[in-house]
Chains A and B, each alone.
Chain A
Amino acid sequence: MRKLDTLLELFQEADPEERLELLLDFVDRLPPLPLEYVPLRDAGLGMVHECQSPVFFLPEVQEGQVRIYADVPREAPIPRAFVALLVEAFNGEPPEAVLEAPEDLLNRLGIAPLLGMQRLRGLTGIYQKLRREIGAKVGLSINPSSNSA
């Protein structure tokens, strides 16, 4: 069982109010950005453009394991919590864990209805960036069928 499945179970068993509380936990759990990544962030690299807040999000593959380096301001708790959740779900996992994860993760977590249509876009942008960049790093496409279109 992947770490993501455990988290999915946790969120799916929670009611909407509890889901907000789970997210609040994650706000406090985002690990600090390692010093060597601070210059990258300050140079505006690795930003998620779909987010209104400055979200730095850099997924890497090191020795066959996913490593996410991220920084999100505390004034943007929803993106911060979601990024912390992704870190917890995928850090140390093989890249396949990202590539095989559900495309509609936000719906599966039950976060989408909490946000409404208007606030979903930024989080979708973060998740797509993760899938796209991990896919590119291991030479796999997350959506193979689009090659023939």
Chain B
Amino acid sequence: MATYAHPEVLVSTDWVAAHLKDTEHVRIVESDEDVLLYETGHIPNAVKIDWVQDLQDPVIRDYISREQFEELCAARGIANDTLVVFYGDKHNWWACYAFWVFKLLGHERCAIMDGGRQKWIAEGRPLTREVPSFPRTVYRARKPDRSIRTFWKEVMAHVQAGKPLIDVRTPAEYRGELVHMPDYPQEGALRAGHIPGARNVPWSMAVREDGTFKSREELERIYLQDKGLKPDDEVITYCRIGERSSHTWFVLKYLLGFKNVKNYDGSWTEWGNLVGVPIERGDPETKVSDG
């Protein structure tokens, strides 16, 4: 079986179990959708990073500043050369989001624990409510890595150039029947549909039932054979608020080795609210506007 393009960014539950005490070099980070899940029990020696409380600016729609990121890491004992291993609920959806934000803010050594919280628990491994604390570090953030993030004006140019986009939302959202995920009505937009030319691959296509990522062959069948992407393509992924699409961003960039993938974190809540931007609706097969 072919290995992933960058196998070093994926660690197994076995690997994590064997490195629980290696807190000088490794920091395990839990990132969940539910803000209380970590507190109910987490991997021993894991710290918590919450996508709302810790990673987002409380006022502006943006991520924390360089200084805030330095403080976030220092307080959790993360040094510049610490390997940060993310895991979480919902097939590592939020873990991939935190991974993307860490990469964006310039942290070099990041990994995902394959299978996430679900697999760790299914294997009967220990959980604890004990919150660990580690000696403070001095963290010096590198320059943000803008090569993995894109903004709407760049997305517009990308569309006009006919380059590929992957819409990772549900087919109903993509077709324009819903403006939000079923059950997440607060994150709405005034218009429904998708960015013109985008192909629809729901993010969850990339994972198995047990929470682990599908094999390289299976992923290549989905993204390369079925959707016609090529590893040299410049690809933009988006969803509703940029979190589900960071999961697919991770798959394309690290598991399949795409050289140039960007996550559009403004996503549909921005595009679907922008005045005058072009939108498509319906299934890709039935569209007539593809040129």
Chain A contacts to B: CB under 8 angstroms: 20-21, 23-24, 27, 49-52, 74-78, 81, 114-122
Q: Which of A24, A52, A75 contacts B39 (CB 8 A)?
A: A24
Q: Which residue of A lies closest to B34 (CB)?
A: A78
Instruction: Decide yes or no whether B205 CB sits under 8 A from chain A.
Output: no
Give the size range of B's interface with the partner: 10 to 19
Smallest distance from the beta carbon of A34 to chain B beta carbons, Å?
24
Smallest distance from the beta carbon of B257 to chain A beta carbons, Å?
32
Q: Which of A21, A74, A115, A121 contacts B185 (CB 8 A)?
A: A121
Smallest distance from the beta carbon of B27 to chain A beta carbons, Å?
20
Q: Are B183 and A52 in contact (CB under 8 A)?
A: yes
Q: Which of B33, B36, B53, B241 contacts A23 (CB 8 A)?
A: B36
Q: Are B184 and A52 in contact (CB under 8 A)?
A: yes
Q: Are B184 and A77 in contact (CB under 8 A)?
A: no
Smallest distance from the beta carbon of A104 to chain B beta carbons, Å?
15
Q: Are B35 and A121 in contact (CB under 8 A)?
A: no
Which residues of B from 1 to 52 have beta carbons under 8 Å from A? 33-37, 39-40, 52
Chain B contacts to A: CB under 8 angstroms: 33-37, 39-40, 52-53, 56, 89, 183-187, 241
Q: Are A120 and B186 in contact (CB under 8 A)?
A: yes
16 contacting pairs across A/B (C-beta < 8 A): A20-B35, A20-B36, A24-B40, A50-B185, A52-B183, A74-B40, A75-B89, A76-B34, A78-B36, A114-B35, A115-B52, A116-B52, A118-B187, A119-B33, A120-B186, A121-B186
Q: Are A121 and B184 in contact (CB under 8 A)?
A: yes
Please classify the interface of chain A as helix (H, G, I), strand (E, B), loop, or mixed, using the class held by over half of its residues.
Answer: helix
Smallest distance from the beta carbon of A25 to chain B beta carbons, Å?
10
Rank and list the top 4 A-B pairs by shortest CB-CB distance, nearest first. A116-B52, A77-B36, A121-B186, A52-B183
Supposing A24-B40, A27-B40, A74-B40 touch, asked if A115 and B35 sit within 8 A by C-beta, the answer is: yes
| Residues in A whose Cβ lies below 8 Å from that of B33 | 119
Smallest distance from the beta carbon of B291 to chain A beta carbons, Å?
36
Q: Which residue of B lies closest to A81 (CB)?
A: B36
Among the interface residues A74, A81, A114, A116, which one has the most CB atoms of the partner chain B within 10 A?
A116
Q: Are B39 and A117 in contact (CB under 8 A)?
A: no
Q: Are A49 and B37 in contact (CB under 8 A)?
A: no
